[in-house]
A and B are shown apart, each in its own frame.
Chain A
Amino acid sequence: MIRRALGFGMVGLAAIALSGCGLITMMHDSVIGPISPLGRINSVAVGSDFRVTDTGPVADLGGDARLRPTPRDMVRRIAMPSSYWALAQFFEYFLTSFSFAASRETRVGRAAAEDPPAELRPGVPVGEALARLGPPDVWVRRGGGSFMLYRGISDRAWSFYVGVPPPVGWFIPIPGITNLRFNYRSERERATKLMLFFDERDVLARVSSSIEDSGGSE
């Protein structure tokens, strides 16, 4: 009976030590957190608004208690497809070192029109511009007029990764065999912008639009 209680106690202690607010997590974050490839484990493990970015999973610690062992939105987070994406990336790259192809696409807002509508000529009042284009993302007023910005952002990434999985490498008597790998990655970001400049009478003075592409492959 005592032995069983001790066993449960040890398991409980281990679970606490390894949790999002555990001793190991806190030591990692405090000592090598800023330079660790894992980043800050505590905020990612227990913070809210969990999401996966180009630099890995991130979350906002915000007003959450630092010593919370699990995130407040645990169920929602488990159900989010971005969690599965992170999990699949982990298994495919870290455990098997082989991923035939992985593709990721993110789009925020609808892209602004490449060419501004023909009706938007200088002299159009601000009310008409708003009625045609909808609410701007940014609208700043100045003493001598104002300007509006409409924008859309999208990014696409495609990658191919092949290598010797670490578990397989253990059985191959060649030092450093697991370092043999081939990785191809292609990324593209596109930002579309439409800017409208109005004079002090709130009449359209100038329209400017642009599309910016960035990214590359390696």
Chain B
Amino acid sequence: MTRIGSVRRALLLIGAVALPGCAISTQRFGRPIDASRIANVVVGTSTKGDVLREFGPPSAYSALPVVPARQDPSVTGADDLLARAEAESRMFVYEYREDRENFLTIILLTRFRREVVSDRLMVFFDERDVVRYVAFSKQTEEPTAQ
């Protein structure tokens, strides 16, 4: 009887210990961006080739969306303007994304948290493939209080 009681107690203890659980995962997409190399990209001087040498192939090569004017393009010459605007807004996009999830359960208390953060570097080029603007943001590290 005593033996059965102690086995039951042991099972209860194991159950109580086993019921809580937690899971933490971080999925990483892309390659981390080396922020220290951004200083090597000089606006008005560096070319597309220089950026490729520094950071390798971009995650995406695209252009800013350009909304056409409402007037008839043949009258206003908007077609030329659009083509020029698109040519002037070509950019390389480098992105590194982290999808962080954590889950915790303690008997009847359940908690789940998900955070999607990304580091992004955008390099804009002019029509001569020279760097026009550089923009970088790092979200994968908490911003430090100033």
Q: Using a CB–CB distance below 8 Å, which chain A residues touch chain B?
A: 79-82, 84-85, 88-89, 92, 98-110, 126-127, 130-131, 133-136, 139-143, 146
Contacts and interface: CB of A to CB of B under 8 A. Distances in A.
Nearest to B24: A81
Given A108-B116, A130-B122, A135-B137, 18 more contacts: A81-B23, A84-B23, A85-B110, A89-B110, A100-B107, A101-B108, A102-B110, A104-B112, A107-B115, A110-B117, A126-B133, A134-B135, A140-B65, A141-B85, A141-B89, A142-B66, A143-B68, A146-B64
Interface string B66-97: 11110000000010010001000100010000
B110 A135 contact: no
B112 A82 contact: yes
A98 B133 CA distance: 56
Contacts of A110: 117, 139, 143
Nearest to B21: A84
Interface of B: 21, 23-25, 43, 64-69, 78, 81, 85, 89, 93, 101-103, 105, 107-118, 120-122, 132-137, 139, 143
A135 B109 contact: no
Nearest to A80: B25
B117 A101 contact: no
Nearest to B113: A105
A58 to B, nearest CB: 14
Nearest to A98: B108
B64 A88 contact: no
B79 to A, nearest CB: 12
Nearest to A158: B111
B interface majority secondary structure? strand
Nearest to A161: B108
A110 to B, nearest CB: 5
Contacts, number: 110
A105 B114 contact: yes
A134 B94 CA distance: 12
Contacts of A102: 109-112
Given A110-B139, A134-B137, A82 B65 contact: no
Nearest to A51: B114
A135 B136 contact: yes
B135 A130 contact: yes
B131 to A, nearest CB: 10
Give the one of B24, B64, B69, B118 with max A CB within 10 A: B64
Contacts of B113: 104-106
Contacts of A141: 64-67, 85, 89
B10 to A, nearest CB: 24
A80 B100 CA distance: 10
Nearest to A134: B137
A98 B107 CA distance: 11
Given A134-B137, A135-B122, A105 B112 contact: yes
B81 A143 contact: yes
